[in-house]
Structure 1
Amino acid sequence: MRRKDVFSLAVAGLLLYMLGNWALPITDPVESNYAETAKEMIAAGDYVSPRIFGNYWYDKPILFYLELIGSFHLFGMTDFAARFFPAVFAVAGILMTYGFAARLYDRRTGLLSAVLLGVSVEYWYLGHAIITDMTLFVTVSASLMSFYAGYESGRVRYYYLAFAAAALAVLDKGPIGLALPGLVILIFLLWQRRLSMLCSIHMLGGLALFLVMTGLWYVPMYLLHGSDFLDTFLGVHNVLRATVSEHPRNNVWYYYLLVFLAGFFPWSLVVVPSCLRRLAKREVHLPSGERERFLLVWSVSVFVAFECMASKYMTYTFPYMMPLAVLMGRFFLGHETMFWRMAKGMGAAYLIALLTILPLATRNNSGQDIAKVLEQQSRPDTVVLTYGIRYPVSIAYYSSLCPQRLVATQADIEKARPHKMSWTATNIMPFASSETMDRRADTLLVTDREHVKELGLKVPGYWKEVGSSSNYVVYRLDAEVPYDGHEEMTGRKSEASHGILETYLSGNRKNPQIP
């Protein structure tokens, strides 16, 4: 490792992952959950129990929320602050890849591996995303790197570092933070016929350190919340996720192959054809060296483990990118001219995207703009509803409002409420029903253009458009126009003073349907 290399990679990484982050609004549906949870934890002064919409939220452990809280305290509650730690961990992952590959092989391999990883599409995306996966990537990688350093050198301190890193991974995303490195180490030691290493006193000492570190949060959470915490966190978000597909359309055998091809773009366009040619010529064989065996076991174990899980997400196999980047770095040693041209081209494309396309894309998937409209139109007693759209948590984050998700009946609310060992456990947003809606209250409703025609039909009352953004429309319930519940649809139109067409709709509340 050379200081010049480390400095150059760090500067390039900071430019690639932090430049323009202040112009990227927090998006729905995933990023906003984390940001809103951290915001509510700060407001409550509770840095132990994650919460959202006033409810305790057992989706993920505490580490990533603490990163957000710390960043909000440093930089204020801004978009840059929310994206700060994912960017920092992305740069750390690049430097770790350089150091690990240089230790295993040489400086050139380290440089190529780090750059290859840093400009891969999936890594670049997750380096900006406000989710737990970049932290998991770094902590799991640190755990496996530390283990191999201890295995190769015989220095026991590395085993303790491996368990400490695994503990941070478990505090970031749950049991998978130990299960992944544990599976890789187990298979590798079986292959090397050194399984007895697991019984050494230092492994037991490392396990004790792991239990102490994870117990700092898990034990208080169990004492505070008891079986609710275990049933939801372990039962729904771990056991159920592994056994019942949350998104069945993704549960196909080739899903992660597509993720690999897209995630490692542009490198997969070169490496995959080369591997297929070698396979056709029968030039592929299992590695005999310890380093290659460890890298192969690491990457294949992660891929197979998540292939066997019922729920499939694009980010699940992300931890295999570290060893694959090193192996691909070795491949590109014989094609360095092409490699650096591709790397420079991708780097330039990312910088252009950060300043042009990405701000528009994130804004179109965020409730930031419509939150401003709602705050301008609302009063202290205004009821805010959402209808026919994926619940936009970012509205709550960017405003002082807490929208309610509108469904047809009270029975529908009961069906949608959180239940044990069911995917409804994620439905902790507030609900309201059309049949019990107070039509005398000042009410704002957020929907999209597609569901506007249902206002007055499936959502009774007279509605007036009062604002919009690129992806949402806001309507106000006109309580002054009497609604008698008749089945026929009536309407009237008038030109507003500012030139916008105001449309009033009434409709049928008989046999209401959930959109």
Structure 2
Amino acid sequence: MRGEAGVKKKDIVGLLIFGLVLYMLGNWALPMTDPVESNYVETAKEMMQAGDYLSPRIFGNYWYDKPILFYLQLIAAFQLFGMTDFAARFFPAVFAVIGLIMTYAFATKLYSRRVGLMSAVLLGTSLEYWYLGHAVITDMTLWVTVSATLMSFYAGYESGKARYYYLAFAAAGVAVLDKGPIGLALPGLVILLFLSWQRCLAILLDIHMLGGFALFLGVVSLWYLPMYLLHGSDFLDTFLGVHNVLRATVSEHPRNNVWYYYLLVFLAGFLPWSLVAVPAFFKRLFKRELHLPMGERERFLVIWALAVFIVFECMASKYMTYTFPYMMPLAILMGKYFLAHETMSWRLAKGMGILYLIAMFTILPVVTQDKSGREVARILQQQSQADTAILAYGIRYPVSIAYYSDLRPKRLVPTTADIEKERPHKMSWTATNIMPFAAIEDMDLQRDTILVTDREHIEDLGTKVPGFWQEVGSSSNYVIYRLQPTVPYDGHAEQPGRETGTWRGILEQYLSGNRKMPQAS
């Protein structure tokens, strides 16, 4: 791989500073959000508490949603910085910076230093990359490891040096430890398609490919083998069956399963650059200036991007971050175009950097607070006693409350039969329902009880959920109520036709009077 100018140390230092400022500054002000980030941090916290650094667990149950790598990153950050919001967001930011430097180095080797810098800055100021540089999820680590796999393979393909193939297989092994089989399947498909186009499939028979695959198996067996030996079919059925096979064949969120979903993701994810690149693409298309790439470099980048897009377009479950791995090749291809408009591009990049920093200290703290239970957790800690029952009603289970408070609200459902329907079942999306449950029909109306709900379900208190409820706190997204114990009838006062302390009595009282106690002053 030859460029007009090689990688420069000052460029790497500049990108390092740029990335640390853009992705790490202000992270301490962003609480963990539901429904995704909180699952990861709560799992890491419970692993630390259990002293078990092999088997992910949440709410006291083994949790086979994702492999071990990201949890180990969180645990390492917690041990370094304490269990803080900054610590939770530390490694996503670090990997985002690593990704920028990798993009710069790869684009520089493919084309030139100027293309490398433009590609890295374009990528770093794209909306999706900026978001995932802060998000406590596995995708930034996957992006770096899959990109490292494909970059290393191409370096081996072009130079003929076997060490790059070994590096590619090792990186694929790390990707599988982060996200699962897709860490090998995705780059493997890109490589297979590229070699087919180049008519070089014989490379796959090279002895170093066999050695590289053995290295890959060695890396992944560090976790997958002991997990299977410890947990057997439960691990395979849930991890491979539900979180891989089911996710690919049955849509978890059917509303996203539309053909144009990932086109919208591309437009939004590459903002602001897509606003220029898309019109330019169609302009060339109408002028018939587009043609199949002839050079090896362009073929590899195009296949990389298209393969990622098509694979996830064909999957039943669609998520915004699934196509994220195509951002490396697209950033490099787009970097070549924007280099022809260099002055405008650098001004736009500077403007986006300033906007992101402003948003980091103004908009983002408000948005994350609205999606977090951190404030509610503080109120629950103040209001609850050791024997207080804590319930969550009418809302998606707020794991962040459990994370911040060390309390475990029970998800309230109508009957014990409903609990059985909601509990985890094999090859079903209920496999993710491992939170604690409670049935309305089993509520003890004499017990000190606190209930967390949202404003849409307040009117259910006293009707669908029996009892006298008094508001004791609220946040931007939740309202907290305490059950006021009823006093059974002692025979000294007339209470005609009213059974206090029973389901029937409670409903009668609410139908004839106030449905909620007055708000506490």
The TM-score, its normalising length taken from structure 2, stands at: 0.94
User: Aligned partners of 2:185, 2:362: CA distance in 1, in Å?
Assistant: 40
Runs of 4+ in 1 over 3 A off after TM superposition: 490-496
For the pair 1:483 / 2:489, whether they are aligned, the reply is: no
Select 1:293's aligned residue among 299, 311, 323. Answer: 299
How many angstroms does 1:38 deviate by?
Answer: 0.1
User: Aligned partners of 1:483, 1:293: CA distance in 2, in Å?
Assistant: 74
**Preserved contact between residue 14 and residue 87 of structure 1 (Cα < 8 Å):** yes
User: Aligned partners of 2:284, 2:338: CA distance in 1, in Å?
Assistant: 15
> What corresponds to 1:186 in structure 2?
192
User: Aligned partners of 1:119, 1:179: CA distance in 2, in Å?
Assistant: 29
- SS of equivalent residue, structure 2 residue 503: coil
> What corresponds to 1:447 in structure 2?
453
**Counterparts of residues 207-246 of structure 1 (less than 5 Å):** 207-246=213-252
**Counterparts of residues 418-457 of structure 1 (less than 5 Å):** 418-457=424-463
> What corresponds to 1:43 in structure 2?
49
User: Which residue identity is paired with 1:45?
Assistant: G
How many angstroms does 1:495 deviate by?
Answer: 9.3
Superposed CA RMSD in Å reads 1.2
How many angstroms does 1:439 deviate by?
Answer: 1.4
- SS of equivalent residue, structure 1 residue 445: strand
How many angstroms does 1:389 deviate by?
Answer: 0.6
User: Aligned partners of 2:232, 2:73: CA distance in 1, in Å?
Assistant: 25
**Preserved contact between residue 462 and residue 483 of structure 1 (Cα < 8 Å):** no
User: Aligned partners of 2:513, 2:310: CA distance in 1, in Å?
Assistant: 58
* Number of aligned residue pairs: 499
How many angstroms does 1:491 deviate by?
Answer: 3.6
**Counterparts of residues 42-441 of structure 1 (less than 5 Å):** 42-441=48-447
- SS of equivalent residue, structure 2 residue 411: strand
> What corresponds to 2:3 in structure 1?
none
**Preserved contact between residue 494 and residue 501 of structure 1 (Cα < 8 Å):** no
- SS of equivalent residue, structure 1 residue 283: coil
User: Which residue identity is paired with 1:483?
Assistant: G
User: Aligned partners of 1:420, 1:275: CA distance in 2, in Å?
Assistant: 46
**Counterparts of residues 12-31 of structure 1 (less than 5 Å):** 12-31=18-37
For the pair 1:458 / 2:464, whether they are aligned, the reply is: yes
CA distance 1:224–1:348, shift in 2 (3 Å): same
**Preserved contact between residue 146 and residue 171 of structure 2 (Cα < 8 Å):** yes
How many angstroms does 1:494 deviate by?
Answer: 10
User: Aligned partners of 1:4, 1:42: CA distance in 2, in Å?
Assistant: 40
**Preserved contact between residue 129 and residue 269 of structure 2 (Cα < 8 Å):** yes
**Preserved contact between residue 194 and residue 303 of structure 2 (Cα < 8 Å):** yes
**Preserved contact between residue 493 and residue 501 of structure 1 (Cα < 8 Å):** no
> What corresponds to 1:508 in structure 2?
none
User: Aligned partners of 1:219, 1:439: CA distance in 2, in Å?
Assistant: 48
For structure 1, the residue ranges without an aligned partner over 5 or more in a row are 503-515
User: Aligned partners of 2:194, 2:252: CA distance in 1, in Å?
Assistant: 32
User: Which residue identity is paired with 2:79?
Assistant: H
- SS of equivalent residue, structure 1 residue 335: helix
User: Which residue identity is paired with 2:206?
Assistant: S
**Preserved contact between residue 29 and residue 393 of structure 1 (Cα < 8 Å):** yes
How many angstroms does 1:337 deviate by?
Answer: 1.0
Q: Tell me the percent identity.
A: 74
How many angstroms does 1:320 deviate by?
Answer: 0.2
CA distance 1:119–1:485, shift in 2 (3 Å): same
For structure 2, the residue ranges without an aligned partner over 5 or more in a row are 1-6, 488-499
> What corresponds to 1:505 in structure 2?
none
The TM-score, its normalising length taken from structure 1, stands at: 0.96
CA distance 1:55–1:291, shift in 2 (3 Å): same
